Amino acid sequence: MKEAGSGQLQQIAVQVFLEGGHRHELVLREDAPELASLFRVLASRGTNMAEPAEEFLQLPLDSGRSACSFHSSQLVSVITQPPVLVQIELPEPPAPQPDVAATAAFVYTPRHVIIDDFLGLDEHRDMLAYALANQHHFAPGTVTSNDAHYRQNLVIMDFHATPHSVLIQNRLLTWFPYITQMLGMELFPLEFVESQLTASNDGHFFRMHADGGNDETQQRTLSCIYYFFREPRPFAGGALRLYDTWQQGEQRTPAASWQEIEPVSNRMVVFPSDSHHELMRIRCPSRQFADSRFAATNWLRRAAQSSPQATFGWGHMHCGVAPADFGLPKDQPA
């Protein structure tokens, strides 16, 4: 969105009208994700978007000291001063390429699994305490191309060796059979779990990418993102945008349609690592590190071969096949 007749970002006075005659006034920057969410909800009504405008919205009031929370179905209209020009991206699958028209082409939506309340209350609090206590260990995140305009956030790369990461890894082991079933996958032999901890603050983002594909990451099979942060949520934006896939023959590219998954504290989101996804830009008015959106990203890596000697725990998942006597002893009634 850009202000009519101006190339500069502006402060926009916004009046939000809700059902029942309720009205709220606030001031937002032109690129604020809250403003984009309001217009997206209004623009999507009556369209054929895969995800209709049904979501929970929160607007900062009184310079962020309070908030207005409501369901998107209650939104009636929005008045802005100065006026803004809205550019809404509607998902439209690209047309088949003429030179490969003979090959069947289709768009499919990657499956994903959401597990809320993934950790216990004390475990969840301890994760946040760990992140805050280790602020000095976070360093700017990078990508293999070293393009600073592609990713901006902070990261602890060697998080996988910490007890906090092991806690998440072992909890993932418990959920692993359910996750693969919900994703329509067979249990696969695990090599190990790769993990890093990220902190995303004001203006941070990670443009569209896939977690697997090159020689170093091709064994990444499932991406598992655990969110945790202060409550009430001290930032806006930061959704996970999971893109549909346009496939034609062996060629797989991201489609123009997507689904967005909101970051909810103590939520785990799992999806195939070869799915294109994006961290949407975050706005954190305080810019305090403690108000960041924290995420522990874990990759379940597929082993080259299973271990027939393994029968339980991580070893059982290495084997990928439950032993015949897995469960109660034969002489014990169920």
- Same domain, yes or no: 71 and 155: no
Tell me the average pLDDT across 203-230: 89
Residue at 63 is within a domain: yes
Tell me the average pLDDT across 240-264: 91
Whether residue 209 has pLDDT greater than 80:
yes
Tell me the average pLDDT across 53-75: 77
- Same domain, yes or no: 273 and 139: yes
Whether residue 124 has pLDDT greater than 70:
yes
Q: Report the distance separating Cα 19 and Cα 73, nearest Å.
A: 9
Q: What are phi and psi of 195, to 5 degrees?
A: -145, 145
Q: What are phi and psi of 133, to 5 degrees?
A: -70, -20
E strand or H helix at 62: none
Asked if residue 269 lies in contact with residue 295, where contact means CB atoms within 8 angstroms, the answer is: no
Total of domains in the chain: 2
Asked if residue 14 lies in contact with residue 35, where contact means CB atoms within 8 angstroms, the answer is: yes
Q: Which of 116-125, 229-238, 258-267, 300-309 has the lowest mean pLDDT?
A: 300-309
**What does the pLDDT read at residue 45?**
66
- Same domain, yes or no: 57 and 137: no
E strand or H helix at 34: helix 33-44
| HSE value, Cβ hemisphere, 13 Å, CA-based, for 214 | 7
Task: Identify the CATH number of the domain in which residue 305 sits.
Answer: 2.60.120.620
Instruction: Give bridge partners of residue 152 from the DSSP assignment.
Output: 205
Residue at 96 is within a domain: no
Residue at 188 is within a domain: yes
Residue at 218 is within a domain: yes
Relative to beta strand 240-248, strand 277-279 is antiparallel
Is the pTM higher than 0.85? no
Q: Report the distance separating Cα 216 and Cα 177, nearest Å.
A: 26
- Give the helix, strand, coil percentages of the chain, each rounded to 5: 20, 35, 45
| HSE value, Cβ hemisphere, 13 Å, CA-based, for 37 | 25
Query: What DSSP character marks residue 63?
Result: T
Does 146 or 298 have the greater pLDDT score?
298
- Same domain, yes or no: 141 and 34: no
Asked if residue 155 lies in contact with residue 141, where contact means CB atoms within 8 angstroms, the answer is: yes
**What does the pLDDT read at residue 179?**
94
Domain that holds residue 179: 105-319
Average pLDDT of the chain, as a whole number: 82
Closest CA relative to residue 198, chosen from 304, 295, 271, 285:
295
Whether residue 214 has pLDDT greater than 50:
yes
Where does a domain end: 38, 53, 85? 85
Closest CA relative to residue 140, chosen from 181, 190, 201:
201
Q: Report the distance separating Cα 171 and Cα 27, nearest Å.
A: 42
- Same domain, yes or no: 232 and 129: yes
Tell me the average pLDDT across 227-256: 92
Whether residue 333 has pLDDT greater than 70:
no
